[in-house]
Amino acid sequence: MIPFNKPFIVGKELDCIAQAVASGKISGNGPFTKKCQSFFETHYGFTRCLLTTSGTDALEMAAILADIQPGDEVIMPSFTFVSTALAFVRQGAVIVFADSCEDNPNLDADRIEPLITSRTKAIVPVHYAGVACDMGKIMTLAAKYSLLVIADSAHAVDAYYTGTLPDAQFPWQQRLKKEGDRYPLGGIGHLGCFSFHETKNIQCGEGGMLAINDPRFIRRAEIIWEKGTNRAEYFRGEVHKYEWVDVGSSFLPSGITAAFLWAQLEELRKIQDKRVLLWEGYWKGLKPLAEKGLFSLPHIPAYATNNAHMFYLVCRSHEERGQLMDALAAKGIQTATHYQSLHDSTYYRHKHKGPTLVNCKRYVNCLVRLPMFYELELAQVRSIVAAVKRFYA
């Protein structure tokens, strides 16, 4: 059987965990936490990074930092994971769901402006499958209407936006490492939220990270992270004692989690390269069928790179998707659909006032994800391609 996902273990995780245990410091904000955070700060130029216990927690921290008040509106796609919305709903936000693009599940940047009202506080783009949203348009709107941008970059580790951004209004963006004018995702927008859940490219079981790009949020982020105390300043010797100064929670992962994550980060390049190889194997094998109009393949806009987080097909109908998934399952190939529309969920249906979201609905009904994980072999990709071809023959 070929599973849909298999979390990759680099092999050095237990060594790193042993080091953390031997150091006698396994609570949060220890040596491995600092190593992981500075990896992202130096490698990608994110202003300040804080590890969290999950991507969901990073989003919750962002919603607190954005100072979302009851009734404030937040614009985001409906085709996303529940946490994208939940973090803001917990602060009392009204979620305004926007449709996806016609040729890609990302939030359609051309549909945002009509949704902006005097209550709009933030835009939350999700870089689906690690493919950048149209950040040039989104940051331009953010500048025009003074909105915060909080990028759900859960899929987007080591992925880039290659277009142009209105840098003048966002001076902190210039700090991003621009290898040939590439902006790393998670670094565009005031705050970026990553996940290291076992389904993501780089994983530690459950984990996440908040990238604080706009420096005005750094001090408060450290406080919220440490249960509403100024403990981080105390440890740096900036205050004589630490005390309760704000709201917050315990958003720090343990040193054991950070040690596991560090082992993965050391192999980031190897992991990404292998995934891209597999992704391209699917792409080359399936392109002839897509050209015949049997399904569509992931569309990567000219302004986006590909971190091979996911490989998916968009089938012609819901029924055909079901048949394809059954045919592949019969050959021992496990596949998966993806999100249900959040605007049409049991929890939110009654609160959603906007129009029907036709592109979102199509991805809910017709998108199918193929196996994609480090240990998958190119030969297996070829056999999956062959099985898809047999189905359509």
Ligand X SMILES: *Cc1c(COP(=O)(O)O)cnc(C)c1O
Asked if residue 84 binds ligand X (CB under 6 A), the reply is yes
Q: Are 373 and 5 in contact (CB under 8 A)?
A: yes
> What is the distance of C-alpha 140 from the center of its chain?
21
Among candidate residues 76, 80, 153, the one with its CA nearest the CA of residue 363:
80
- Dihedral sign of CA atoms 133, 138, 139, 142 in order: negative
x/- track of binding to ligand X for residues 126-145 (CB under 6 A): x-------------------
Instruction: Give every CB contact of residue 235 below 8 A, 6+ residues apart in sequence.
Output: 29
Q: Looking at beta carbons only, is 136 or 208 nearer to ligand X?
A: 208
Instruction: Give every CB contact of residue 70 below 8 A, 6+ residues apart in sequence.
Output: 91, 92, 93
Name the minimum Å distance from CB 205 to ligand X: 10
* Token pair for 295: 């399904």
CA distances from 191 to 64, 152, 233, 359 (A): 12, 9, 21, 27
Q: Looking at beta carbons only, is 157 or 294 nearer to ligand X?
A: 157
Q: Looking at beta carbons only, is 163 or 192 nearer to ligand X?
A: 192
Task: Candidates 78, 80, 203, 230: give the one binding ligand X (CB under 6 A).
Answer: 80
Name the minimum Å distance from CB 153 to ligand X: 8
Name the minimum Å distance from CB 9 to ligand X: 18
How many residues bind to ligand X according to rule CB under 6 A?
A: 14
Q: Give the interface segment with ligand X, choosing from 79-87, 113-121, 178-186, 322-330 (CB under 6 A).
A: 79-87
Q: Give the interface segment with ligand X, choosing from 9-17, 54-62, 116-124, 213-221 (CB under 6 A).
A: 54-62
Q: How far apart are CA 31 and CA 384, in angstroms?
A: 43
Q: In the window 5-24, what residues touch ligand X (CB under 6 A)?
A: none
Asked if residue 83 binds ligand X (CB under 6 A), the reply is yes
Q: In the window 168-197, what residues touch ligand X (CB under 6 A)?
A: 195, 197
Residue nearest to ligand X (CB): 55
Task: Candidates 8, 40, 44, 81: give the one binding ligand X (CB under 6 A).
Answer: 81
Asked if residue 56 binds ligand X (CB under 6 A), the reply is yes
Name the minimum Å distance from CB 258 to ligand X: 15
Q: Looking at beta carbons only, is 99 or 289 nearer to ligand X?
A: 99
Q: Which residues of 238-252 are buried (b: 16+ CB within 10 A; e: fewer)?
A: eeeebeeeeebbebb
Name the minimum Å distance from CB 82 to ligand X: 8
Name the minimum Å distance from CB 171 to ligand X: 28
Q: In the window 199-238, what residues touch ligand X (CB under 6 A)?
A: 208
Could you count the other beta carbons within 10 Å of the beta carbon of residue 9? 14
Own/partner pairs, 386-391, CB within 8 angstroms, 24+ separation: 386/285, 387/327, 387/328, 387/331, 387/333, 388/286, 388/289, 388/313, 388/324, 388/328, 389/285, 389/289, 390/327, 391/323, 391/324, 391/327, 391/328
Q: In the window 243-302, what residues touch ligand X (CB under 6 A)?
A: none
Task: Candidates 152, 214, 222, 226: give the one binding ligand X (CB under 6 A).
Answer: 152
Task: Candidates 137, 155, 343, 361: give the one binding ligand X (CB under 6 A).
Answer: 155
Q: What is the per-residue DSSP string for 122-166?
A: EE--B-GGGPPP-HHHHHHHHHHHT-EEEEE-TT-TT-EE-S---
Q: Which residues bind ligand X (CB under 6 A)?
A: 54-56, 80-81, 83-84, 126, 152, 154-155, 195, 197, 208
